Amino acid sequence: MQQQSQQQRKRSFLQGVASIMAQRGTPLPPALTGAPYQGFDPATSMWRSLEVSGVDVGVVRLAGKDVDLFKLWALVQHHGGSTKLSQQVMWGQLLPQFDLPEQYMQPNGQPQSSAVALERYYSRLIGPFEEMYRKNIYRDRAMQAARNQPGAPGTNQGRPPGMTGTFPPVGSLPAVSGNNGLGMMGQPITGGSALPTEVSLGGIGGPQFPASQMISQAAHMSQQQPISGMSGTPDSRVDVAGTDSLSAARQDANGIISSASQDSELNGTASEQDVDGRKRKMEEGDEANGKRVRHKTGESSDLRSSVPPSGLTPHGMNIASRPLRQPSRRRIEYIPLAREVDTAGGRDLDAIQSEFATASQRPLKDLNEWGAVDVEALTMSIRSRISTELSYALTTFTILTLMRIKDSGFPVVQAPDLLDELLDLIEDVAFEGMEDIDPDDFPNSSIITHRHLMNAILEEGSQPFASLKPKQGLRDPGSGPQQRPGDVILTALNIVRNLSLSAENQDYLARHSRLLGIILRLCSLKNPVDLLYPAPLSPALSLNDLILARKDVIYILVNISATVQLSSTDSPSSAVRNARRAFDLLASYLVDPVDAVPPLQCLLLNGAPTHIHASKPPSTLDTALEAFTRFTHPDDNRLVFARAIPPEWLWCMIEALVHRLPVTDHDFQVMMRAEWLAYLERIVLSLYSIGFLAPPKVKKRVKTDRQLAFPTVMLRLIRKLTIGSPADARPHFVVSVRRAIEVIKLIDDAGDSFDTSSSTMPTLAFGMGYGEHGETRVEKGMGLLSGHQDEVTWGLMMSRDVDDQMFSELSSLVRVEISS
């Protein structure tokens, strides 16, 4: 029996929620509320993303668990309402009731707090119902308190004799109340009956009276004298017909009260609440002081004259004596106001950090506050080298480079003197007239990787009394109130980086005669022969400054390297110097043996979360690969790189790139995302460029090195991206597969890519015209994939995704020389 009553209350609750949401123009799915709604379209509804559970009505799915809305509403009311839970951050206490985890993963891979999601579900689905429910409770309490006031017009004053009991006022009847046509538990009033079978006076859980009893009492009242004081205005008449007509006039065909009448009733309820609140405070103050207002009593003669004889009234009715009801005492709960402080050793670190950030970060001026900026004045300020003028010029120039007008930025091509002065500033502050060092002076030096620099900083800083030792790049105390030179250099370099983001500036910066040489020289290191730790070539930079400068230069190169022409410089020696320094900078992020690992191990090494589908390649590594592929794409640049790069550096680069290719099935699962697929394409394109740059000796070493296993790794990559992948995903791998086959072909030829002494076309036979001989030429020796002839011939070459060019290259790679 109790279970049936619980189910009845749940259905009434869901019908009330459905009625309110339908009135707001956002009807809930009928599968959730169990209440049909004509014309509901799940495809266009705002609740189409809501997952409704099929276990029972009123149950939704959250984080893979079932959440009963009626149970959730009861728990929230038990804890004091949703407002109290939000203010005291107590939504997390409801999670164990539904077996919800602390966090769950969204479809986009981002973690989401279950408490926040539960609060959002409640506010959107049950929030309007709770708001209307509380307004009805406050109105009923106000009316009840008004009837309990001594001397106030009540239901028994002036009542004809024999009329004992009470009758609910007009405002408490469902037909004229502000509950949007909701009866018990929010049940809508529909059909031909204006009153439900049971009417709740005190809201859900309050006393309930049969509607038939109310109608009979109302009919009895209509036969008697009109009662004064029942409504807000004197001499108002109450009868059943009037109530029904008022209800019918204010409801539509579905039993929903109009918004205008609802607003007027809510406004009246609010005023009654204010009056009741002031009266209740006065009464509680009197009770606390032990004093009560003594009711006025007259003389006995006045009483006799005002009260008619017993049992006689103008209508012949008896008047029932009504005892004075004392105001009930109310329990007041005091919640202490306490500030939750997460302290560490008695100190609130979060508050300290927020105050420190507020004090250290000055708000930037609005663009309108700068007024008209004179570019010539900025140029003169940078040229003056005065501390205050330099600070103003660099700050203003930085703001100008950050401005964006549609897709363009600051057009530095229109202010060439400003850029020249900025480069002069970098060169003067960084090197102070030092002569440039030719990298060929120490040709046997190895590539110092980015990880090696980070470890050097950590090791040097962990030594005893490290902060007391003089270091390179510190500010000279005797220079006065000036900025540290390293900060000036980094600020100017940041300006160049901002300028390179605009497409209209990239070609101008790439063709500038001094820009590339200055920024690459800034990233160089001293000769490490006589040094314990690596040191920047510029005496104004510390090792920390060098790492920041290298990162900015990489982003500058990735923006301008597509249009850089190394061979266009004035002297061939400067072109070779720039090519070597650029290769050294980009390779320092790529060739470290610890970082050169397959994709899955790269994720684990960088501390990626366990769900690998939400991660991306390291941004600096990806940017270095992109800059290298763009830098080495033009043939003129490849020729300069081939002359400048030592063979050992090329071997280290090839080895590191091959080690970064996917090998296991888990690696290929990581590659199924767009970011990792682009990362794979950049690796293969870098290998293709290295195949051109490498001399024949390096190519032969790649072919014969069994520890590297270059043919096996490349063949597995091609096979997994063609016949080993779904047919609908193969078009995304065409670029990688085509370039991988070309890389194998370059390594298989093992020749000098820049040797033009031999003829590229075979000799024409007698009687054959040009173009009739085909493009094939006689190739000798065993192909690089000859040991996998069956797999390539009957697997790859039979695939429909292999075009004619790829087919001919694969056929050449599996050739087998037959000795005669």
Q: Could you tell me the pLDDT band of residue 444, with boundaries at 50, 70 and 90?
A: low
**Whole-prediction pTM:** 0.56
Give pLDDT tens digits for 172-229: 333 333 334 344 344 443 333 333 333 333 333 333 333 333 333 333 433 333 333 3
Q: In this structure, what token pair is assigned to residue 60? A: 């939704």
pLDDT digits (tens, 9 = 90+) for 691-705: 989 999 999 999 999
Q: How confident is the model at residue 625 (pLDDT cuts 50, 70, 90)?
A: very high
Measured in degrees and rounded to the nearest 5, phi and psi for residue 371 equal 70, -155
Res 388: pLDDT: 92
The residue type at 569? T
Highest mean pLDDT among 244-253, 530-539, 651-660 belongs to 651-660
Handedness of CA 751, 752, 754, 757 (dihedral sign): negative
CA distance 400 to 364: 13
How much is the pLDDT for 717?
93
The CATH fold assigned to 2-34+46-125 is: DNA polymerase; domain 1 (1.10.150)
Residue with tokens 């009394």: 465
Per-residue pLDDT of 337-356, as tens digits, reads 776 657 777 788 888 888 88
Residue 753: which pLDDT band, with cuts at 50, 70 and 90?
confident
Q: What is the DSSP string of 455-469?
A: HHHHHHHTSTTGGGS
**Residues in the chain, overall count:** 820
Task: Check residue 105 and give its pLDDT.
Answer: 82
Can you give 416-445 as a three-state secondary structure string? HHHHHHHHHHHHHHHHCCCCCCCHHHCCCC
Give the other-Cβ count within 10 Å of 14's Cβ: 23
644 burial via Cβ count (<10 Å: 0-12, 13-18, 19+)? buried
Q: Which residue has the tokens 């497409």?
A: 503
**What CA–CA distance (Å, rounded) separates 128 from 792?**
67
Cβ contacts of residue 562 below 8 Å, gap of 6+? 506, 510, 630, 633
Confidence at residue 92, expressed as pLDDT on a 0 to 100 scale:
86
- Terminal-to-terminal C-alpha distance of the chain: 100
Mapping DSSP to helix (H, G, I), strand (E, B) and coil, where does residue 160 land? coil
In the chain, which segments carry CATH 1.10.150? 2-34+46-125
pLDDT at 317 over 80: no
Q: Is the pLDDT of residue 579 over 60?
A: yes
Closest CA to 417 of 444, 446, 379: 379
Q: With pLDDT > 90 as the criterion, what percentage of the chain qualifies?
A: 30
Q: How far apart are CA 226 and CA 472, in angstroms?
A: 101
What is the per-residue pLDDT for 39?
77
* Tally of CA atoms within 13 A in the half-sphere of 59 that contains its CB: 11
Angle 566-572-574 from CA coordinates, rounded to 5°: 70
CB 99 within 8 A of CB 65: yes
Query: Mean pLDDT of all residues in the chain?
Result: 76
Quote the tokens at residue 547.
């790492």
Residue 47 Cα distances to 29, 124, 711, angstroms: 7, 10, 54
Is residue 59 classed as helix, strand or coil in its secondary structure? strand
Half-sphere exposure at residue 725, Cβ-oriented, CA atoms within 13 angstroms: 21
C-alpha dist (Å) from residue 594 to 270, 487, 591, 598, 802: 70, 31, 9, 11, 36
Can you read off the two tokens belonging to residue 401?
């480079």
Q: What are the b/e assignments for 526-542, b being 16+ CB within 10 Å? A: beeeeeeebbbbbebbb
Q: Rounded to an integer, what distance in angstroms lies between the CA atom of residue 78 and that of residue 85?
A: 11
DSSP secondary structure letter of residue 294: P
Q: What is the Cα–Cα distance from 537 to 448, expressed in whole angstroms?
A: 14
In the chain, the percentage of residues whose pLDDT exceeds 70 is: 71
Q: What is the pLDDT of residue 629?
A: 95
d(CA 496, CA 540): 19
CA 810-813-814 angle, 5° bins? 90
Which one of 100-114, 196-210, 549-563, 800-814 scores highest in mean pLDDT? 549-563
The mean pLDDT of 405-416, rounded to a whole number, is 83
Contacts of 15 (CB under 8 A, 6+ apart): 33, 34, 35, 185, 186, 187, 188
Segment (H or E) for 273: helix 259-288
At residue 614 the predicted structure's pLDDT band, cuts being 50, 70 and 90, is low
Would the CA dihedral through 74, 78, 80, 83 be positive or negative?
negative
In the chain, the amino acid numbered 690 is: I
Region 599-611: what's the mean pLDDT? 78
Strands 198-200 vs 208-210: parallel, antiparallel or unpaired: antiparallel
Residues 63, 53: Cα–Cα separation, whole Å? 12
Beta strand 103-105 with 111-113 is: antiparallel
pLDDT tens column, 759-818: 444 554 444 444 444 455 566 777 788 778 778 888 788 877 787 888 888 888 888 776
